Each structure stands twice: as C-alpha cells, then as structure tokens.
Structure 1
C-alpha cells in the first residue's frame, strides 16, 4: 500500500498491539512501572484501568515481551466474561495444565499441583487478565482465592487486572473489600495531550523507518489531536487513513487542510465519530410515537444520518477503486521495466 511510497519498512499504525511500537507517556510509564513493581514484589494484585483505546493491552504485551526473568511463567487471558469455573478451566488451558478429573475440586487440585511444581523449579506464575471489567464479581473473588495458594508464606501466582473504567466500580463494591486489600498498586490511563500526540505519531513513524522529514507539519498535530481526542487507537485509525490518502493523492506533506478533509470523510464512518460528538442514548431509547411531530422529525434525522453513512461508504469505495487502479498501473510499470531489463540482458549475452 503506502509503505513503499513513504519509505516505511512496515505499516506504522496497525491496530494490533505491538510492543515494538510502545510509546510511554508519563501515565503509561507509571502504569508499566507499577506492573514491574508488582513483579518484583511477587504478591498482591495490580489494577490498570483506562478508557477504550488508551493502550492497556499494549502495556500488557510490552511487559510480557520484556520479561527477562526466566523464573516467571506468564499467561494472558483475553476472554473474560466467565463464571468462576470457566475462569479456572481457561487458566488451566493457558498454562497447559493437565487436569485429572471433571470436578471443580479436581481442577483446583491440578492448578495447585502445577503451581507447586513451578515453585520447586524456582519459578512462579503470572496471570494477566485483559478486559477485566467483563469479569463478574464472583469470578474476581475466585481470582482472590487463587492468590491463597502459598508455599512457605509466598504466593504461588500473581494476577494483574487490566480493564475499562467500569472495573473501578466493580472493585469499589462493598462485597469486594477483601479483594481491595490485596491490591498493592493501581493506575488509570488517560488520552494523550496534544504534545504527546506529536511525539506518539513521530515515534511510530520512526519505528517504521520513515525517511520523510516533515511529513506532518506542527499545526497538523493539533488537528489530529482535536479529531481523535488523544485516544491512541483512534490516532492509529486516523493517521493510517491519512497516509493512504496521501499515497493516493501523491502528497509529500500532509498538512492541516488534508487532515480536515480526511476527518470530514471519516466523521460518520467510524464508531464514535472522530470529532468527539457522541450520540445520545436518549435519542434511540425513547419509544417512537408516529403521530408525534417531534418524533417524525427524529425519524427524518435518522434517515439523513443513514444517507450520510451510505454516501461516505460510496466515497470510500471510489477511493479504494482509485487506489487499486493506481496500484495496477504501478505494477504494470514495474513489470514493463523488468521485461525491458531482461531484454537488454539477452541482447548483451548475444
């Protein structure tokens, strides 16, 4: 796609969390430091919360990728809407524990024997639970019970919980007092500030070996911040589209006018529009009465929004068609050049 045009070694703004592209703001570095502190302590729970797209999973991946201690055996859970029994089954599966029997007692016994076996090897288990806001309170309580597995007064397993803001409310419930007392550190991530957006974008470009200086002017970063509200995942989506647009239009500089144009194209295409205007739940939760003038107007507004979405989709298809056409022409030129080179080689050999 646009990688060769801009001289990238790879796409710098992929959505999949990649530890190589980890960018540590002060908040992210603090969260990572808490995780590392928890590792050093070898006990208790660490809780990291933050809005969607602020980098919680990236932090977890970064931690796992940089664990140099061979004494730590780590596993990560990403499917967390689980009952206590399902949680135990998934833990056993992730740690590749052989379970002898079908009862919960058999499952717990097998997990404990595995943890004791690690301890005898001088190792310990680390469990990272992503999207932990989906865990029912009784399942979080099961995690606390697992932390009771000890040998020589040392816990055999640690659990780190990463989740959206709702996780804070779950933990704050009165029946979670015993769990709260096991938390040794917590951190809450926030979106990036405008100056951090510039550093974040430049960092990812550098990681992809960008050889274009001044690809985004300084005033462009302010617009990117305004359109994405500093949320890293939205920045990735937005800047990836900016680079594709720049490639299609053969731009060497992506200025604020271009950024605003692309933002306008994407305003209704993405869930939670980039301009930060959120749909009000009340607009859709109220029961419609057809003979109400107000509700008839609401229906018209919804139809207009649908029309805008369809128009945006058509515009995107047109752009993709242009991109494919351009790519085919580029490949055709490369093929013709290769054919010409082969012909010259044949003539020289004769």
Structure 2
C-alpha cells in the first residue's frame, strides 16, 4: 500500500504498540525519570496513568527493553476484572508455579518461595500490571500483600501499575486503598503531546521506517494534525495512516492542511462517530415553529378562497427558505470546523436563502 508507494520499509503508524518507535516526548521523558527513581528504590509501587492511546503500553515495552535480565526478573500481566485469588494464580504462573488445585494458602507459600528463589540468583522481581483500572479492590489488596514479602530487610517484589485516569482518581479517593497509597513511591500521568512535538513525532516514526523525504510536509499541516488528534499518539497514528494512504492514492507529493482536512472529511462520512479524526459539527438550532393563524386571518381566509391559497403558498415558501437556510448554515459550520475556506458564493447563497 502506501509504504511501497513512498519507499518505506514498513508502516510507521501502526496502532499496535512497538517499542522500536519510542518517542521521547516531554511527558514520556518525565515518566521514565519517575520510573528510574522508583526502580532504584527497589520496593513499593510505581503508578503511571494516561488516557487511552497515550502510550502506556509502548512505555512498558521501552522500559522492559532497557532492563538487564541479569538484575531484574520481569513478570507482565494485562489485567482484567479478576478477583484477588485469581490474580494470585496469575502471579504464580508468572513464577512458573502451577496453580491448579492449590489453595490460597499453598499458593502464597509457593509464590514467596519462588520470589526467594529469584533473589538467590542476585535478581529482584518486578511485576508489571497493565490496565490496572479494571482490578477490583480485592485484587489490589492482594498485590499489596505480595509487596510485603522480604528477605534480609529488602523487598522481594516491586510492582508497576499502569492504568487509565480513573485508576488514579480511585487510588486517591478510596479509603479502602489507603495502605496501598502509602506504598506508592512514584506516580506520573501521561499527558498528550504538545503542539510543537507533533512534527518531531511524525518525522521520527517515518525515519525509522526508511523515509527519504517523500512525501514532504507543509508547515501548516502540523497544527492541524495536533488539533485533530488532541496530541494523543494513537489518534495521531490513526490519522497519519489515513493521510499517507490518501497521499499515495492521489499521488500527492506534499502533505498540507488541505489534504489532512480532506481525509478528515472522508472519515467523518465513513465513520460519523469517529471524533478522533474529525470534530463534531455543532447542531444548527431548529427555527421556531411558525405562529398559528389568528382567528381573524382564518375567518378572512375562510370567506376568500383566493386569499387562502395565497397564504398557503407564502407558508410553503417560508418553510422552504427555512430548510435551505438550515442546510447552508450546517455546511458553513462544517467548513469552519474543518479549517478549510468556504467555497465561493457560499455566503451569498445563505443571504439569498434568507432573503
């Protein structure tokens, strides 16, 4: 598809997280600093939150790629809404312990032995739990209990929790999670990219995929990309994939604001609910209902059939003009929202419809 047209070695804007495409934005750089501090402590909980598509999973991939397995044993779990006992079984499996048929007491004993076995090799164990917002309190309490395991005054297990913003709110607002909250040693929320970071992000990913400068980018395109994606990496990837495909199909050499807005308009028609690629169009208020005829007018019309016909024609004309005006106002709102100039004569058409 477009990667062949532009001579790319692969698709640079795939939605599947790939740590090779790690981009060191300001918020991700700060997250790595907090992670580095937390891992150096060797205990407690590290919490990273972010909106859907903010790059949490890519962050995990980047972190694990930096870890020396000779120093740290990593267990990664993508959580679902599982209770504490089931989470314990998942952790046991990560330590190569068969949980089937075991009671909770037996599993706790075996998990502690497994953590000690890792510690005897000179390594620590890091448990990474993604989608932590799905965990019930019982599962979070089970994680807190696991963090109590020690050997020689040092924690055997450190836990890294990633979740959506509601997990941070829940952690800060629940009295039942007070003990866990006291063990959080580092916490950071991934923010969207700033407008000035979008150009670097796009060219960074293209360069990894073998970009040779074709297509090129007009200066006016990056503010539009930021507004359309909100600075969220996954939304930007989704939009850029469509943009490059459109550019390949139309054989465009330069990607500019007009091309991006054309793609957004197409996406709005194909996926009306896809707010990530096109803004919602403001609803144009419906006109007030036409006032009912007065008793005097009805009486007069009833005695004059010709006048009745004239009134009916005038009412029909008013309704047609109102409908035309609503259509034109909707189109104008659409053009304004999509940052493209209104076609010539559009304002004149509205004036004519209102006349």
Q: Is the 8 A contact 2:127 2:158 kept in 1?
A: yes
Return the offset for 1:214: 6.0
Which residue of the partner structure matches residue 260 of structure 2? 259
Return the offset for 1:277: 3.9
Classify the secondary structure of the residue corresponding to 2:254. Answer: coil
Q: Is the 8 A contact 2:46 2:159 kept in 1?
A: yes
| Runs ≥4 residues deviating over 3 A | 98-101, 270-273, 275-279
Alpha carbons of structure 1 residues 138 and 77: separation in structure 2 relative to 1, 3 Å:
same
Which residue of the partner structure matches residue 199 of structure 1? 200
Please identify the structure whose Cα radius of gyration is greater: 2
Which residue of the partner structure matches residue 66 of structure 1? 66
Which residue of the partner structure matches residue 51 of structure 1? 51
Return the offset for 1:80: 2.7
Return the offset for 1:97: 2.1
Distance 1:209 1:166 in 2: 38
Classify the secondary structure of the residue corresponding to 1:148. Answer: coil
Alpha carbons of structure 1 residues 6 and 100: separation in structure 2 relative to 1, 3 Å:
closer
The superposition leaves residues 135-160 of structure 1 with CA deviations (integer Å, 9 ceiling, x where unpaired) of 11221111010000111111111110
Q: Is the 8 A contact 2:149 2:156 kept in 1?
A: yes
Return the offset for 1:213: 5.0
**Which aligned pairs between 1:1-350 and structure 2 lie closer than 5 A?**
1-99=1-99, 101-172=101-172, 173-212=174-213, 215-267=216-268, 269=271, 271-277=274-280
Return the offset for 1:278: 10
The superposition leaves residues 34-70 of structure 1 with CA deviations (integer Å, 9 ceiling, x where unpaired) of 1122222111111001111111111111001111251
**Structure 1 stretches of 5 or more lacking a match?**
280-350
Classify the secondary structure of the residue corresponding to 2:75. Answer: strand
Q: Is the 8 A contact 2:214 2:253 kept in 1?
A: no
CA RMSD of aligned residues (A): 1.8
**TM-score of the superposition, structure 1-length normalised?**
0.76
Alpha carbons of structure 1 residues 182 and 277: separation in structure 2 relative to 1, 3 Å:
farther
Q: Is the 8 A contact 1:97 1:110 kept in 2?
A: yes
**Structure 2 stretches of 5 or more lacking a match?**
283-355
How many residues align structurally? 279
Distance 1:278 1:140 in 2: 42
Return the offset for 1:99: 4.0
The superposition leaves residues 263-295 of structure 1 with CA deviations (integer Å, 9 ceiling, x where unpaired) of 11113626444335499xxxxxxxxxxxxxxxx
